[in-house]
Amino acid sequence: MFVDQVKVHIKAGRGGDGIVSFRHEKYVAYGGPFGGDGGDGGNVIFEADPGMTTLLDLRYHRKVFATPGEKGKNKKMHGANGEDKIVKVPLGTIVKVAETGQIVADLTKPHQQQIVAHGGKGGRGNFHFKSSRNTAPKYAEDGKPGDEFDAIVELRVLADVGLVGFPSVGKSTFLDAVSRARPEIGDYPFTTIHPNVGVVQTKDGRSFILADLPGLIEGASTGKGLGHQFLKHIERCRVILHVIDMGSSEGRDPLEDYEIINNELKDYQMRLLERPQIVVANKMDLDNAKENLERFKKKYPDVEVFETTTIIHEGLDPVLRKAADLLATTPTFPIMDDEGTESSVLYTFEEKRPEIEVTQVEDHVWQVTGTKIERAFNINKLNTEEDFYLFADRMRYMGIDAALREAGCMDGDTVQLCGFEFEFIEN
């Protein structure tokens, strides 16, 4: 089964907590703090595997988790780092953040690896907090959570030349004639329902990868039919081989076919029309082919047209030589730009969610929310008096005290934080 898009949940490993421990050895007076650091969480890594051709494995394993780091140990020993989770995918796979569409990995080389989710940093043990004022600290840092998000994993066929055109124009027959690929060929529309790839070699020894892409229809660029699913596979192709049914065997006008397909390529907005295009007039053995070809050349005098009859392997060599010539001078068209986003993305201003937000729930009751709070606050760590002092210092350092005063919070008011309530006291 050919699967070219999967939505998965990715979660990197959490960092291990640092521990509170003290040195207790015979004849060692005032041993001091001895708690070790927690280990770093494992990363989630995607790797391009040349032996894979589909995302079928991910379809049945939609949760990708890396191992968390271990807690620190006594004697300043560092907890073990979490193991990385390596996910193997086919060449040509991209990984996008589902919420924003940002591309975090584009795997185009064999065995290329890319970290898509970084593990959390391990917390420091209590020996890091020893000072002249506090020689026996009884607190340690928590490990930080790793990256976690929903991701869209897409396979975009990695080919040099892509065959495009309406259904039943002879694309699959062309691929079958010039390579050892054996795509399904039938006398009905949409015989090809997923891309087929073959290696083509010209008579002068040059070779390239040719992809037979499913047929397009009018409106494909707006998602009509399976438009986006088909068009995305053209994005990596450096040369487009446009096949036209010049014999009008399906009752369509070849000139209209040519215009419609080019309009769909243009509207897709991935610079598809910047790629060199080879126009192939196929089915030249049919009665109306010569007449239609004359009409085509009259309307498009500057377009070079290659006449073929793919069913009998006629006229194919000039097309392959032209494709090889164009590949020698055509650069690669990247999927992402310098900022790591697709070149077709529409940039709009979105106000960033504040890290700390104070809202008044009712008279003398205030609620503090924000992503920074949620990551820093852990009620389970408030066990000793020192933990509370450290918590208060952290809240002050993060600017929560100032934000509460600015919002109007007064001495004795109630502050709600992550489901817990505290009393605000002015010093």
What is the CA angle 252-255-260, rounded to 5?
A: 80
Q: What is the CATH number of the domain that holds 395?
A: 3.30.300.350
Confirm or deny that 215 is annotated as ligand binding: yes
Confirm or deny that 190 is annotated as ligand binding: yes
**pLDDT tens-digit map of 356-388:** 788 888 888 988 887 667 666 666 666 777 777
Label residue 255 by pLDDT band (50, 70, 90).
very high
In a shared domain, residues 170 and 139: no
So what's the pLDDT on residue 14? 94
278-289 mean pLDDT: 92
In a shared domain, residues 379 and 319: no
Does the structure show a pLDDT above 80 at 228?
no
21-44 mean pLDDT: 89
Confirm or deny that 248 is annotated as ligand binding: no
Confirm or deny that 286 is annotated as ligand binding: no
Cβ atoms of 84 and 42 within 8 Å: the answer is yes
Q: Is 95 among the domain residues? A: yes
Share of residues in the chain with pLDDT > 70 (%): 83
Confirm or deny that 121 is annotated as ligand binding: no
Confirm or deny that 167 is annotated as ligand binding: yes
Confirm or deny that 213 is annotated as ligand binding: yes
405-413 mean pLDDT: 87
Q: What is the CATH number of the domain that holds 133?
A: 2.70.210.12
So what's the pLDDT on residue 56? 83
Q: What is the CATH number of the domain that holds 305?
A: 3.40.50.300
Phi, psi of 3 (to 5 degrees): -120, 120
Confirm or deny that 135 is annotated as ligand binding: no
Confirm or deny that 172 is annotated as ligand binding: yes
Q: Is 340 among the domain residues? A: no
Share of residues in the chain with pLDDT > 90 (%): 34
Neighbours of 420 (CB within 10 A): 10
So what's the pLDDT on residue 80? 95
Q: Which of 123, 155, 187 is the last residue of a domain?
A: 155
In a shared domain, residues 117 and 205: no
In a shared domain, residues 8 and 111: yes
Q: Is 314 among the domain residues? A: yes
Q: Is 22 among the domain residues? A: yes
In a shared domain, residues 150 and 185: no
Q: Which of 124, 155, 186 is the last residue of a domain?
A: 155
Label residue 138 by pLDDT band (50, 70, 90).
confident
Contacts of 8 (CB under 8 A, 6+ apart): 58, 61, 62, 63, 64, 150, 151, 153
Task: Please identify which residue in the block is written with the tokens 């953040």.
Answer: 97
Task: Please identify which residue in the block is written with the tokens 């990596």.
Answer: 236
So what's the pLDDT on residue 114? 94
* Half-sphere exposure for 195 (CA within 13 Å, toward CB): 29
Number of domains in the chain: 3
Domain extent at residue 255: 161-329
Cα(88)–Cα(45) distance, integer angstroms: 9
In a shared domain, residues 242 and 202: yes
In a shared domain, residues 257 and 394: no
In the structure encoding, which two tokens stand for residue 329, read together? 């001078």
Task: Please identify which residue in the block is written with the tokens 């040509």.
Answer: 92
Confirm or deny that 311 is annotated as ligand binding: yes
Q: Which of 261, 264, 234 is nearest to 333 (CA)?
A: 234
Q: Is 345 among the domain residues? A: no
In a shared domain, residues 244 and 132: no
Q: Is 351 among the domain residues? A: no
In a shared domain, residues 130 and 208: no
Q: Which of 122, 155, 188 is the last residue of a domain?
A: 155
Confirm or deny that 212 is annotated as ligand binding: yes
So what's the pLDDT on residue 378? 66
Confirm or deny that 127 is annotated as ligand binding: no
Confirm or deny that 171 is annotated as ligand binding: yes
Confirm or deny that 52 is annotated as ligand binding: no
Q: DSSP 3-state assignment of 178?
A: helix
Does the structure show a pLDDT above 80 at 271?
no
**Higher-confidence position of 312 and 375:** 312
| Residue 291 identity | E
Confirm or deny that 69 is annotated as ligand binding: no
Contacts of 47 (CB under 8 A, 6+ apart): 86, 87, 88, 89, 107, 111, 112, 113, 114
Confirm or deny that 420 is annotated as ligand binding: no
> Considering the chain, what is the average pLDDT of its residues?
82
In a shared domain, residues 67 and 168: no
Q: Is 341 among the domain residues? A: no
In a shared domain, residues 174 and 318: yes
In a shared domain, residues 258 and 299: yes
Confirm or deny that 170 is annotated as ligand binding: yes
Confirm or deny that 51 is annotated as ligand binding: no
Q: Is 342 among the domain residues? A: no
So what's the pLDDT on residue 133? 83
Confirm or deny that 126 is annotated as ligand binding: no
